[in-house]
Structure 1
Amino acid sequence: MGTIAIEGMQFYAYHGYYKEERKKGNYFMVDVYLDLDFAKAGQDDAIQHTVNYEKVYAVCVRRMQKTHKLLETVCVQIAEQLHRKYPEVKKTRVRISKLHPPLSGPSQRFYVEHSIKRKMSKHKDLSF
């Protein structure tokens, strides 16, 4: 089992609960962690046996371009789309950070994180 991680994808987007946040926009950072067995890709050096991180990035771009009030919404949508797209991934974890959020005091970032773990099949192979 291994992890493919894409950290620090940066976006300027228009997410926020308050109308002013959605109008003005802010900087966001997205991190994606995908747990899977990529031993076959490690042996045969073939991208079709692993996750293409350019395609992961493209999913994040499309989702970040759509405006939402809650980062939780965007985070869940990215995680669910990646989890559906890559059935070989055992666990998907997505973190979205809003940099320098509009709070009454200084703050470096606020983030939400969502994980999805693939359910293992309960069926046993009974073939002889």
Structure 2
Amino acid sequence: MDRIILKGMKFYGYHGVSPRERELGGNFVVDVELYLDLKKAGREDDISLTVDYSRVFGIVKEKITCRSYNLLEAAAEEISSDILKSFPVRETVVGIKKINTGLEGSYEYMGVEIRRQSSLKQNEGKGN
């Protein structure tokens, strides 16, 4: 399976369970992988046969910068759901890293990664 990768998208957002996190905000890094067949797009050099990266970036940016979530899991679910609804993608992997959590100690980041499949994949070969 082919994949499109959008890695290291950086945003400032207001997500977290604690009121402090939601007031002060923090830095987030989002990675998205999209699994789909890219053969036809590659052969024909046609953007309409693939996924427009700028539209995926826009979905991620809107969710991270314009919304507020208690959980990174919720943000990742919404990003994945919007991508699967908007594009002919079989599977998504969405990772969100919270760079500054306010916790004491030494760490690079804390985050989540989810993998979701399109109903298109589940219905493949069934005439749908």
Q: Common fold, TM-score beyond 0.5?
A: yes
When the two structures are aligned, how many residues end up with a matched partner? Answer: 124
**Percent of residue pairs bearing the same amino acid type:** 35
| Correspondence for 1:48 | 48
What one-letter code is carried by the residue in structure 2 that aligns with 1:46? Answer: D
1:90 is aligned to: 90
Q: Secondary structure at the match of 1:7?
A: strand
Conserved 8 A contact 1:100-1:107: no
User: Which sections of structure 1, spanning at least 5 residues, go unmatched?
Assistant: none
Q: 1:40 to 1:54 in 2, by over 3 A?
A: same
Task: Extract unaligned runs of 5+ from structure 2.
Answer: none
**Secondary structure of the corresponding residue to residue 101 of structure 1:** coil
Deviates more, 1:10-19 or 1:93-102: 93-102
Aligned: 1:103 with 2:106: no
C-alpha offsets along residues 42-65 of structure 1, whole Å, 9 cap, x if unaligned?
Answer: 011000000000000000011112
1:63-82 correspondence to structure 2 within 5 Å:
63-64=63-64, 65-82=66-83
Shift of 1:123: 5.5
Matching of residues 16-35 of structure 1 within 5 Å: 16-35=16-35
